[in-house]
Chain A
Amino acid sequence: MGANETGPIGQAVRRREDARFLTGTGQYTDDVTMPRQTCAYFLRSPHAHANIRSIDTKAAKAAPGVVAIYVGADLTGVNGLPCGWLITGTDGKPMNEPPHPVLAQGKVRHVGDPVAVVVAESLLEAKDAAEMIAVDYEVLPAVVSGVDALKPGAPQIHEQAPGNKCYTWALGDKAAVDAAFATAHHVSKVDIVNNRLVPNAIEPRAAVASYNRAEQSYTLYVASQNPHVERLLMTAFVLGLPETKVRVIAPDVGGGFGSKIYLYAEETALVWASKHVNRPIRWAADRSEAFISDAHGRDHVTHAEMAVDKDGRFLAMRVTTTANLGAYLSTFASCIPTILYATLLAGQYTTPAIYCEVTAAFTNTVPVDAYRGAGRPEATYVVERVVHQVGVDLGIAQDEIRRRNFIRAFPYATPVALTYDTGNYDQTLDEAMRMADVAHFTSRKAEAARRGKLRGLGYSSYIEACGLAPSNIAGALGARAGLYEAGEVRVNPTGGVTVFTGSHSHGQGHETTFAQIVADKLGIDMANVEIVHGDTGRIPFGMGTYGSRSLAVGGTAIVKAIDKVVAKGKKIAAHLLEAAETDIEFKDGKFTVAGTDRSKAFGEVALAAYVPHIYPLDKLEPGLNETAFYDPTNFTYPAGTHICEVEIDPDTGVTEVVNFVACDDFGNIINPMIVEGQVHGGLAQGLGQALLENCVYDAKTGQLLSGSFMDYAMPRADDLPTFKVSTKVTPCTHNPLGAKGCGEAGAIGAPAAMMNAVHDALLGVGVKDIQMPASPHRVWQAIQSAKAGA
């Protein structure tokens, strides 16, 4: 597909950025040091829910090394943190949007809610001083589950959200669904808990803020996935500063998974305070702090039903979900369990009618927002668990129940607002089944049974909507921002190319993938391409990286800018070659007069653009520097099938993933090695959710029980099987790269495949229902309960 068939596109080029990461020379936010810098420490609420009667900072302010201490009342003129997406409820009213203060204003609503910031000469002194702050709390009853928060009599968290409700929202044709259910041959039902997860990027959040009195400007280094969005929200909504006076730099960032998309209280407080103390201020979360202050993921409770005919054809689906949003609305919290969730409930299937109703609740927990997949893992889990149940109920094989309902004609308009442009779900299912050796599963199951073990096979035929997003569609659905991307291609006089992208790399490998595209399209060596990202002082206004959008949207913006460079290059070459512009062809790095051997190399044209001695100055500006903004016309729809085989030890409840295969369709692939790495990482997170990770709050006190790696089980290398992954390609029809995105697929597809496998394995011992994570304890309990009930 490249401009050059032997060019870098499609090659497994090693990641150029890895040399600095692996040799410890990456420059992360916490590596930034500044003259006269101070350290900040946030005093956080130890209570899940409490009124603040008083805060006494007198002794703390007098402590050694303290520069300043600020509490909520000091932040005059500072607004609350905004939510970037307005959801309109089924009652036609806008969602309840209670204030989200930077520092607590009279009340704390979750353990970890920031109450005061101490700025001191050293972190040690800041911590010591924080212990001297006397906060008089009136502890209130707390509620931590979304379902409990909506019950009458639950503790009320916000005055502006009666009954702790943010909204009840719905999508789909309820009447059509009800009608289909009324006459259906059979209805399969599942009750699902999508467990709350803590993101845990390897680099905790960090920020360094400084103020320049001469320029009256601020510079913020921050571990962020989207520096321009960070700046826009902070300046326009919270601090009331001109954007021109704030530069946000997200340097090397050690993983995000969504948790670094948002505008957080900490960096906002630092920017504000940096002017007041007129010194740079640094802060980095420690891991314990990350657990109680980074936005969490998932946390849905769902009842789903599928109505089917006697042949297992899906007639209608009905889904009711309670989403826990935590104590405050994080930046994109409102759209995750709605726009990015219910729209995916068609899955890969022709289900003609779907109705989904979502009620979002406030609770005394850390805010919940996008986490790798964001809404789409939750949707896939619902669809694939209920499809599995249909197969079980009707005695139809799991591949066959899927095949009977696959979408095969494209474009396909789902009953839940999306139009899939392309796909081939049979081919990914076929290949996954071949890879998983489904044909011999029965004999493996029998062999395991002889050893006293229970084997199960689980399928997940997932779809995701990526390449976020067409701004007009997003806007119509409540987005308060655009979702285009920007790219600038700056050709230097000697032919080297610097690319400025609004996308941000925090592990995705942009410096390699984007350089492959540029080198391929311009026919130049990758070594002559530099990718710049993450600095609002250098890059065009871009929207950052999330939702598997970097290649499909950010990459396309770069391609569009390259197209402009080539178009201008043709004009220059035509002048140099004394030919008509329409006769100039660009291929393999050369501008050639069609049908002749007369050509100018790309470098020669670049030089002429900057040393315009022989140049059409009367018609054309010098220079070769082009910018493009790209707003996609549709989402992209990566899809595939994952198949998981597990073996369960009924004596201990241990589930071993003995085989896991993934066959994914990400459209065209630029770098298969990076794609494979992304899939492996996503699958690891999917396995984490399915078998290990669980964020647990104490129901009475609201304390986070899984507040460290001692109790929160992050997957380790030896928890993972050797994943077998492959790809099939149906190119995306609406971007020039034909790319769909691959960053989230593993986390989206894997949990359902694993849990369907666990259910399959346990079916024979009478277990009908088990929730994530399928920990040894839970599996053992489920087996005991089934035995007791039998």
Chain B
Amino acid sequence: MYTFELKKADSVANAAALLAASGGKALAGGQSLVAALKLRLAQPGTLVDLSGIAELKGIRREGTHVVIGAMTRHADVAASAEVKVGIPALAALAEGIGDRQVRNMGTLGGSLANNDPAACYPAAVLGLDAVVHTSKRKLAAADFFKGMYETALAEDELITSVSFPVPAKAAYVKFVQPASRFALVGVFVAQTAGGVRVAVTGAGSSVFRAKALEDALAKSFTADAAKAVKVPATGLNSDLHGSAEYRAHLISVLAARAVTAAG
């Protein structure tokens, strides 16, 4: 770790001002950033700690949506009655992130802002067509994720909350990379007001929708229909833990399992 200055923000406006003034980085749950700091892979002069901002926390139901504050911890999402009732697939997804320590520290907003290509939350946000509210604007899921570790957020822009539409049915199935236990491939399947959506994490440089699977499932929302879709391997990740072909194959297998799990 290099030395840095730690500033505690007490409001979103204060945090944005501190970020703009210092050119530093926002510290949410720290489950990726602190590890990077320890390895000297990141060298911010200033960290702006968001943990003291009350307005960023909490979960509430707003009509057809479940709204979750950006600084809500994974463990709180997993345990939330609102989430369990409205979008059980989202509660289950949160329950499956990392380990207990990670879930007690990591936050929804931190995960989305980091946009790790193997993170779980982006699959739910894209799969449910959620809206990302920031300190400056609101963004549709499709406009938020830009690429590997890239989002539409400006340097001094903070996620404030995410509004998840309640789907008719949804499920997330993750196939873990054996070492890190991040998603080697994770598939979020949902029947939404706008139709069937299938979002895939872990397999590409950033979360993406699997159009062929969406089309097949729109016709027949069955495991067999999902399994019959052959996903092309072109452009998918290939590494120590799985070739692009393997990941492509897993997308169909996991989508089928998600359909079964969605009931």
Contact = CB atoms under 8 A, between A and B. Distances in A.
Contacts of A714: 179
> Which of A124, A128, A706, A711 counts the most B-chain CB atoms under 10 A from its CB?
A711
Interface string B30-72: 0000000001100000000000000000000000000000000
B3 A706 contact: no
B178 A692 contact: yes
Contacts of B154: none
A124 B249 CA distance: 47
Contact of A711 (B240, B245, B249): B240
B234 interface: no
Interface in A682-706: 692, 694, 696, 705-706
Contact of A712 (B179, B243, B245): B179
Contact of B178 (A127, A696, A713, A780): A713
A454 B178 CA distance: 21
Given A652-B250, A780-B249, A288 B39 contact: yes
A132 to B, nearest CB: 13
Nearest to B181: A716
Interface in B243-257: 243, 245-246, 249-250, 253
A711 B253 contact: no
Nearest to B256: A651
B232 interface: no
B39 A711 contact: no
A710 B180 contact: yes
Interface string B219-257: 000000000000000000000111101100110010000
Contacts of A441: none
A709 interface: yes
A706 B240 contact: yes
Given A288-B39, A651-B253, A781 B243 contact: yes
A776 B39 contact: no
B202 to A, nearest CB: 13
Contacts of A712: 179
Interface residues of A, number: 24
> Which of A692, A705, A776 counts the most B-chain CB atoms under 10 A from its CB?
A776
A777 interface: yes
Interface in A420-465: none
A694 B179 CA distance: 10
Nearest to A777: B242
Contacts of A653: 246
A368 B258 CA distance: 44
A320 interface: no
Interface in A636-672: 651-653
Contacts of B178: 692, 713, 775-776
Given A652-B253, A711-B179, A124 B3 contact: yes
A710 B179 contact: yes
B2 to A, nearest CB: 8
Contacts of A124: 1, 3
A781 B249 CA distance: 11
Contacts of B246: 653, 777, 780-781
Nearest to B257: A651
A713 B3 CA distance: 31
Interface in A95-154: 124, 127-128
Nearest to B185: A652
Contacts of B240: 694, 696, 705-706, 711
Given A127-B40, A780-B249, A775 B241 contact: yes
Contacts of A706: 179, 240
Interface string A32-50: 0000000000000000000
A777 B179 contact: no
Interface string B170-195: 00000100111000000000000000
Nearest to B40: A127
Contact of B175 (A288, A652, A710, A713): A652
B179 A713 contact: yes
Contacts of A127: 40
A767 to B, nearest CB: 16
Contacts of B39: 288
Interface string B1-17: 11100000000000000
B40 to A, nearest CB: 7
Contacts of A780: 246, 249
A714 B180 CA distance: 10
Contacts of A652: 175, 250, 253
Contacts of A775: 178, 241
Nearest to B2: A128
Contacts of B249: 780
Contacts of B245: 784
Nearest to B250: A652
A692 B240 CA distance: 12
A777 B2 CA distance: 38
Interface in A709-740: 709-714
Contacts of A713: 178-179
Contacts of A694: 240
A572 to B, nearest CB: 60
Nearest to B242: A777
A653 B2 CA distance: 42
Interface string B127-159: 000000000000000000000000000000000
A705 B253 CA distance: 28
A710 B250 CA distance: 21
A308 to B, nearest CB: 37
A69 B180 CA distance: 36
A780 B242 CA distance: 10
B252 to A, nearest CB: 9
Contacts of A128: 2
A709 B242 contact: no
Nearest to B179: A713
Contacts of B2: 128
A434 B171 CA distance: 42
A651 B39 CA distance: 37
Nearest to A696: B240
A709 B182 CA distance: 12
Nearest to B3: A124
Contact of A777 (B1, B3, B180, B241): B241
A696 B241 CA distance: 11
A124 B246 CA distance: 43
> Which of A128, A651, A711, A777 counts the most B-chain CB atoms under 10 A from its CB?
A777
A65 B250 CA distance: 53
Nearest to A719: B178
A652 B179 CA distance: 16
> Which of B178, B179, B243, B253 counts the most A-chain CB atoms under 10 A from its CB?
B178
B115 to A, nearest CB: 17
Given A652-B175, A781-B243, A709 B250 contact: no
Contacts of B180: 709-711
Nearest to A131: B40
Interface in A131-180: none
B38 to A, nearest CB: 8
Contacts of B179: 692, 706, 709-714
> Which of B39, B40, B250 counts the most A-chain CB atoms under 10 A from its CB?
B250
B33 to A, nearest CB: 15
Contacts of A781: 243, 246
> Which of B3, B179, B242 counts the most A-chain CB atoms under 10 A from its CB?
B179
**Lowest 3 CB-CB distances: which A-B pairs, in order?**
A713-B179, A713-B178, A710-B180
27 contacts: A128-B2, A288-B39, A651-B253, A652-B175, A652-B250, A653-B246, A692-B178, A696-B240, A705-B240, A706-B179, A706-B240, A709-B179, A709-B180, A711-B241, A713-B178, A713-B179, A714-B179, A775-B241, A776-B178, A777-B242, A777-B243, A777-B246, A780-B246, A780-B249, A781-B243, A781-B246, A784-B245
Interface of A: 124, 127-128, 288, 651-653, 692, 694, 696, 705-706, 709-714, 775-777, 780-781, 784
Given A711-B240, A777-B241, A781-B246, 9 more contacts: A128-B2, A692-B178, A706-B240, A710-B180, A711-B180, A713-B178, A776-B178, A777-B243, A780-B246
